[in-house]
Homo-oligomer: A and B are copies of this chain.
Amino acid sequence: MPFSYSRTVRFKDTDAAGVVYFANVLAMCHEACEESLAASSINLKVFFSNPVVAVPIVHTSVDFLRPMFCGDQVLINLITRQRSGDEFEIGYKILEAVADKVVAKAITRHVCIEPVSRTRKELPTEIIQWLQQWSI
């Protein structure tokens, strides 16, 4: 089941072209990811501030289909997919809510590491459960 996250486009997201600055689209996707973790009862403060594992992004890609403007309501649908014992991928579809049009699509690919040594580590149970909850 995909996870859905609703968000208003903020003034800070925009640039002098009057639309959302391209890299901020990825920040919106990451917000959706954080919300999906919280929705799976993962404590964000522990997960991001004092983690046993980290899940840095090793690859990302984005297709920008339509501009987004300050005040736009967007809906981000997120789907997770485990790729191996220490890798997963998240797919994002961003829709402008009023016109119900896809404005961007993105993926982020993550690996699980031990945060200090930065060596690969098996995904912990709570992440695997989160991956299962929001996969198709």
Q: Which residues of A contact B (CB under 8 A)?
A: 8, 10-12, 14-19, 21-24, 26-27, 30-31, 34-35, 38, 43-49, 51, 54, 56-65, 67, 69-72, 108, 115, 118
Bound CA–CA A54/B70 (angstroms): 14
Of A16, A18, A24, most buried by chain B (CB within 10 Å of CB) is A16
Residue on B nearest A105 in the bound complex, by CB: B59
Checking B8, B17, B35, B59 against A34 with a beta-carbon cut-off of 8 angstroms, the contacting residue is: B8
**Sampled A-B contacts (15; CB under 8 Å):** A8-B35, A8-B38, A10-B34, A11-B30, A12-B15, A12-B31, A15-B15, A17-B56, A18-B49, A22-B56, A38-B71, A49-B70, A58-B65, A61-B62, A67-B118
Contact call A14/B12, Cβ cutoff below 8 A: no
Once A30-B11, A48-B71, A71-B38 are accepted as A-B contacts, the answer to whether A19 and B22 lie under 8 Å apart by CB is no
